[in-house]
Structure 1
Amino acid sequence: MAWTDLEPARGEWDFARLDSCIELAQRHNVRVLLTLGLTPRWASTRPDEKSNYGLGNQAPPADTLDWSRYVDTLVKRYRGRIEAYEIWNEPNLRGFYSGTPRELARLASIAYAVIKRVDPHALVVTPSATGLPGGAQWLREYLAEGAGAHADVVGFHFYVTPGDPEAMVPAIATIRETMAMMGLADLPLWNTESGWLMQNADVRVEPSGATGTFGSRVLDFDTSAAFVARALVLGRCGGLSRFYWYAWDNRRMGLTDADGRTEKKAATSYAVMRRWLLGARVQKCERREDGVWMVRLRNASGSLSTISWSTGHESRFDLPPGARLRSSENALGARRSYSSSSHVQALNVEALPTRIHFR
């Protein structure tokens, strides 16, 4: 819910839909991150400028007092119920933001002061740029304006579509280098949006655009499940503190079918990854020359496990010398147990990750 939805005319507010979303999140103990921005046309510096949404929405506000009142009204209404506020969405893409990094740094400074005054425990996330190298360059320019002083978290959208999830690894490293360069290495890094186009069972998703562009690849059901699992595991390997999947019920990128209710294999994979990763610590993450990935975890219970998959054809995972299998489970929840007398020395791994427990 953007500013333009909440305040369609100056001083006229419509919180009905956002109230419903916040109440739903509270019922399910979900922490809320709300993205600020998208200037209403009446408040825009360029009210007739086209955007990815309505006219004038991507331009900064003409009067920062309007911005301040918007943030103040919002935070007072949801104090203690919204955990974090992200300042703007994908500001390096002109369809979402047409101002300068300096102008947005000024808006962030105002919003930070208001949020901390009204709800001191709420977190403030930088605007989340996307794409490399453009997103990293925009982030550097933004932080060069001193904007790091007005953020508790650095946000970025680690889209690598239409590529594979493994492309996130160098992308995360690049943003971490940028943070270190700007003196913000100790701030948490959140992936506040990532996903792929995924096929539905009810309404078919068709690819669009030239080969290599965002919409040119639509994942089938099995590949979707594998990509969800691999992306979430690799995000943990990269030290991301949060990973927000896009999206639950989007008609082209959802974990559900277009009806918004029927869960795909990708949704099952997401739930299994939540169980695998919550409370776990990565001890080692490596890729073999044959394309097999191995991620060693210390689980919340204290036990050790290894998550493995192959980015190419089915491959062989050889157990460490002397290791004895206890169980294995793939990212769709299919499990297998092994007796103490089992002499299994290797497992086949494929695109869908498998977690292996040792005795």
Structure 2
Amino acid sequence: VSFHSVAGNGTLAVMANSSGAIPSTFFSMHINDFRTPWPTVPIGGVRLWDTQTTWGQINTSPGIYDWTKLDRRLTQAQSRGADVMYELGRTPVWAQCSSTDSTCGSGVTITCGHNGVTAAGGPGQCYPPNDLKIDGSGPNQHWKDWVTAVVTHSRGFVRYYEIWNEPDIAHSWQGSFAQLARMEQDAKAIVGSIDPSALIVTPAPVDMHPGPTWMDRYMAAGGAQAADVIAFHGYVECIGGCVPHVYPTAEDEVLLISKFKAVMLAHGQQTKPIFITEGSWGRTDINLFTDQDLRSAFIVRYHLLQGSLGIARSYWYLWDGIGVGTLWDTVNTNLQGCAGGGIPNNGGYLCPSGIAYQQVYNWLVGASPSAPCSANGTVWSCGYTRGGGYHALAVWDASKTCSNGVCATSIYSPDSQFVQYRDLAGGTKSVASGSTIQIGAKPVLLETGNVP
């Protein structure tokens, strides 16, 4: 299986692992606050994470469950026609392995990632259950009881169950590969017996460097054997360390995804679908990635490339959070949000990147990739077809940038079959035969005509 190839003329081709029209479920989302109005952009699914619905927040003591917050999320998603991925992780305080106990955990005392978060369910949630040994043996009854309870309660509402979030980060997981593989196996058996239509998603590591290596070790320990879907996170910011004004590059998705695909191939898992269960341009408080044009460019290129690489689902993080992939905000003035560029929307403001998200959804859903995304020098293009003889080509120049509302461009000569192009604001412009257009960081979609 080839994930990318470089031709002798310097052209890079990104090879997809699937064919057919791109479904609406490719575009999925995180919604942080239940009070946030449902997104006005179309989404096919939601992932429940950072939504006060984790194991530690629901199962507060043995046999005691408070389903209130989960139920309102499930009901909301169902009413909007979006399916649900539920994240199973974050061990409740009463079930945790002690931080000093190396028989069921690392034996190292650290501060877990959600210790100080209000209503997060208590400290220590990155430690494994205390009845599951470090080698994966033991009854694992706490986990079994929890999975049984949540699947029984959520049957018919949850489509996907993900085992753990970002276990390659120390403050997210202080257990072993064998423990997570056992948890995956037990979850598969329980989910299959209660709700056979629901699917198991592997733990989802993050980052370019530890992520693929972590997944390789997890699969070597027996992980992913019981899973239906392979998952990882698609962040590509701060690859060489977070530095002000060194911005994330969407084209780094090519290398990130190729690394994970190579691991899957090595372990015989290459036929399973891949979900990017979390990702965006990431945190912007250090690298200061706040330019609204560049954010719009990133979100479109991010989805174009993932679609070309055959990613089945991409869960953007997030719709309504400040500083991490924000597409909608309650106010228009947050620098980490819309930075004054939003338009009134549903009681808040839709950022320019939210408008761009809508456009790339329109471009891709129902279209079939006709040619892999490829780069000729710094100019990238991705081809698509639809019924009725429709053809389209998304193009951009990755060497160009934007600043203070001005975007640099280069000259591009479209093929004569294209008569118009669409931009990220939703506008359409005619293209005369033999003429040139200006392209830059923000992709445009050349078309042979309107969508049939």
Q: Normalising by structure 2, report the TM-score.
A: 0.72
Alignment pair present for 1:358 and 2:448: yes
Alignment match of 2:213 (pick from 120, 137, 156)? 137
1:160-179 maps to which residues of 2 (within 5 A)? 160-162=236-238, 163-179=248-264
1:330 aligns with 2:423: yes
Q: Quick check: 1:78 aligned with 2:154?
A: yes
Q: Higher helix fraction: Structure 1 or Structure 2?
A: 1
The structure 1 residue matched to 2:143, chosen from 40, 61, 67, is: 67
* 1:222 equivalent among 284, 289, 293: 293
Identical aligned pairs, as a percentage? 28
* Residue 95 of structure 2: aligned partner: 43
Query: Aligned AA for 2:442?
Result: L
2:364 is aligned with 1:272: no
* Residues in 1 aligned to 2:78 and 2:353: alpha-carbon distance in whole angstroms: 24
Please give the residue correspondences for 1:1-359 in structure 2 after superposition, counting only pairs within 5 Å.
1-46=53-98, 49-54=110-115, 55-63=123-131, 64-162=140-238, 163-197=248-282, 207-208=285-286, 216-253=287-324, 254-257=326-329, 261-284=348-371, 285-289=373-377, 291-299=378-386, 303-313=390-400, 314-320=409-415, 323-338=416-431, 342-358=432-448
Taking the aligned partners of 1:105 and 1:219, their CA distance within structure 2 comes to 39
1:57–1:298 CA distance, 2 compared to 1 (3 A): same
| Amino acid aligned to 2:274 | L
Residue by residue over 1:288-338, the C-alpha shift from the partner in whole angstroms, topping out at 9 and shown as x without a partner, is 11x111111123665210001111231222123xx2432210122111245
Aligned counterparts of 2:161 and 2:233: Cα–Cα separation in 1: 15
**1:279 and 1:300 in contact (8 A); partners too:** no
Give the letter for the 1:180 counterpart: L
State the 1:217 CA deviation: 3.4
Q: Retained in 2: the 8 A contact 1:158–1:168?
A: yes
Query: What secondary structure is seen at the aligned counterpart in 2 of 1:32?
Result: strand
- Cα pair distance change 1:57/1:68, threshold 3 Å: same
Local SS of the residue matching 2:197: coil
Q: Does the aligned pair in 1 maintain the 2:61–2:94 contact within 8 Å?
A: yes
Asked if the contact 1:252–1:258 (Cα under 8 Å) also holds between the matched residues in 2, the reply is no
Structure 2: tracts of 5 or more residues without a match: 1-52, 100-108, 116-122, 132-139, 239-247, 332-346, 401-408
Asked whether the equivalents of residues 197 and 218 of structure 1 are also in contact (C-alpha less than 8 Å), the reply is no
Q: CA deviation at 1:274?
A: 1.2
Q: Distance in 1 between the 2:387 and 2:299 partners?
A: 21
Distance 1:134 1:255 in 2: 28
The change in CA–CA distance for 1:185 and 1:332 in structure 2 (over 3 A counts) is same
3-state DSSP of counterpart to 2:186: helix
Residue 212 (structure 1) aligns with? none
Q: CA-to-partner distance for each residue in 1:264-302, whole Å, 9 max, x for gaps?
A: 01111111111111122222211111x111111123665
- Contact 2:200–2:226 (8 Å) recurs in 1: yes
Q: Structure 1 residues 276-285 or 167-176, which shifts more?
A: 276-285
8 A contact 2:421–2:446 mirrored in 1: yes
Q: Deviations over 1:148-207 (max 9, x none)?
A: 221000001011014211111111111111100000110001111111257xxxxxxx72
TM-score of the superposition, structure 1-length normalised? 0.90
Ranked by relative contact order (alpha carbons within 8 Å, sequence separation 6 or more), the top structure is 2
The alpha-carbon deviation at position 41 of structure 1 amounts to 1.0
Between the aligned partners of 1:261 and 1:194, the Cα distance in structure 2 is: 23
How far does the alpha carbon of each residue in 1:203-226 deviate from its partner, in whole angstroms, 9 at most, with x for none? Answer: xxx723xxxxxxx23232111111
Please report the RMSD computed on the Cα atoms of aligned residues, expressed in angstroms.
1.7
Residue 358 of structure 1: how far off its partner (Å): 2.1
Aligned letter for 1:319?
A: P
CA contact (8 A) 2:110 2:171 kept: no
Q: Contact conserved, 2:285 with 2:323, CA < 8 A, in 1?
A: no
Q: Contact 1:46–1:59 (CA<8 Å) still a contact in 2?
A: yes
Q: Counterparts of 1:135 and 1:258 in 2: how far apart (Å)?
A: 34
Deviation at 1:133, TM superposition (A): 2.2
Gaps of 5+ in 1: 199-205, 209-215
